[in-house]
Chains A and B, each alone.
Chain A
């Protein structure tokens, strides 16, 4: 009898563990993945341990299994809550289909140490879209962002604007220069900015081709500016900002990889992710 019970609990526990792991793999955003991991992980693990105790039944085995299950039940919710809070505070983007963010205004997002200021974005859940502003940063995810923005503008009959910005400040910062190296540093700066202009021209071309193919009117604004404050300025009511997931306005030329999501949350621009893919574009509602 105990053998049958043991086999039943073992398989049930392992199956629950597998469901949880598939959830961790397949669900679209961080918070849902966390819910899958903690919820089903504990139940699956607990059932499996009960199965083990049925396979070798003895008082001290049962006591140890009971202690292990009690410990799991006690700690996993705490760990899950801590991780979710940390992720929210750090500014992990929510799934694009999220309808309500009840923590908005309760917890700070992005920069943890500075006081919370006025928070643009996500004030209305079903905004009217009059302008689609697409950030033309060269790098991974730009194709997805262009096609998303063009489709969005076409669907809502909105004005389509391509923003081609060069983050000259980041590119000019080439790091410490040895004595006598200023000539070469200046040369390096000029080459980097020229390269960034060339890459940007390619991205603008990509955007223009896509917009022409879709047959919708568009305009391109070229600017040399600090990107995040500039984006924030453009983000008025009725406009939607679309940015590629893995690219920033250094056009991939800064010596460190810049994560657009963290840049935006540092400037307290609330963002959502459009869809569950890893290169799904970042979307900000004005």
Chain B
């Protein structure tokens, strides 16, 4: 009995903390102020998405969600890499000089 309560309460607290973290990252994405700031917040949101997929395993009992966590981690890494290349080639300096 207590075991079940501990498990449910732990998962619930963790879910609330994760939600708060996602909101913080979301606010940073909206605020910017520069593109790299937004990309870092997006990368953070991807990492939180991995954690969210982990929470989905607890919530639904379907262990297949852990594969989704792997997939989200992969995609979020690729996103960060692509954005980094994009910024480095000069998204900030988009206007031509003279």
User: A residues touching B (Cβ–Cβ < 8 Å)?
Assistant: 3-4, 6-8, 10-11, 13-15, 17-18, 20-22, 24-25, 30, 33-34, 37-38, 41-42, 44-45, 48-49, 51-52, 55-56, 58, 61, 64-65, 67-68, 71-72, 75-76, 78-80, 82-83, 85-87, 89-92, 110-113, 245, 256, 258-259, 261-262, 265-266, 278
Q: Which of A4, A7, A51, A113 has the most CB of B within 10 A?
A: A7
In the docked arrangement, what's the CA distance between A7 and B2, Å?
A: 12
Q: What count of chain B residues pass the 8 Å CB interface test? A: 65
Contact across chains for A33 and B10 when beta carbons are under 8 A apart: no
User: B residues touching A (Cβ–Cβ < 8 Å)?
Assistant: 3-4, 6-7, 9-11, 13-18, 20-25, 27-28, 31-37, 39-41, 43-44, 47-48, 50-51, 54-55, 57-58, 61, 63, 66-67, 69-70, 73-74, 76-77, 80-81, 83-85, 87-93, 95, 97
Q: Which 7 A-B pairs have the closest CB atoms?
A: A7-B10, A21-B21, A21-B24, A87-B36, A79-B80, A14-B17, A14-B14
Contact across chains for B92 and A259 when beta carbons are under 8 A apart: yes
What distance in Å separates the Cβ of B31 from its nearest Cβ neighbour in chain A? 6
Contact across chains for A25 and B14 when beta carbons are under 8 A apart: no
**Known A-B contacts A11-B17, A278-B33; A85 and B40 likewise in contact (beta carbons under 8 Å):** no
Contact across chains for A72 and B17 when beta carbons are under 8 A apart: no
Contact across chains for B83 and A17 when beta carbons are under 8 A apart: no
* Residues on A with beta carbons closer than 8 Å to the beta carbon of B51: 13-14, 17, 44-45, 48-49
In the docked arrangement, what's the CA distance between A20 and B18, Å?
A: 11
Contact across chains for B93 and A90 when beta carbons are under 8 A apart: yes
What distance in Å separates the Cβ of B3 from its nearest Cβ neighbour in chain A? 4
17 interchain pairs (CB within 8 A)? A7-B6, A7-B9, A20-B21, A21-B22, A24-B24, A30-B37, A33-B37, A41-B48, A48-B51, A55-B7, A55-B58, A83-B87, A112-B88, A112-B93, A245-B33, A256-B95, A261-B34
Contact across chains for B70 and A86 when beta carbons are under 8 A apart: no
What distance in Å separates the Cβ of A75 from its nearest Cβ neighbour in chain B? 4
* Residues on B with beta carbons closer than 8 Å to the beta carbon of A45: 47-48, 50-51, 54
Contact across chains for A30 and B73 when beta carbons are under 8 A apart: no
**Known A-B contacts A11-B14, A14-B51, A65-B66; A90 and B92 likewise in contact (beta carbons under 8 Å):** yes
What distance in Å separates the Cβ of A226 from its nearest Cβ neighbour in chain B? 9
Contact across chains for B84 and A24 when beta carbons are under 8 A apart: no
* Residues on B with beta carbons closer than 8 Å to the beta carbon of A30: 34, 36-37, 40
Contact across chains for A24 and B41 when beta carbons are under 8 A apart: yes
Q: Contact check: which of B6, B14, B80 meets A51 at CB < 8 Å? A: B14
Contact across chains for A75 and B73 when beta carbons are under 8 A apart: yes
What distance in Å separates the Cβ of B12 from its nearest Cβ neighbour in chain A? 10
Contact across chains for B73 and A68 when beta carbons are under 8 A apart: yes
Contact across chains for B92 and A91 when beta carbons are under 8 A apart: yes
Q: Contact check: which of A24, A41, A80 meets B28 at CB < 8 Å? A: A24
Q: Contact check: which of A17, A22, A37 meets B40 at CB < 8 Å? A: A37
**Known A-B contacts A7-B9, A14-B14, A278-B33; A83 and B83 likewise in contact (beta carbons under 8 Å):** yes
In the docked arrangement, what's the CA distance between A252 and B1, Å?
A: 66
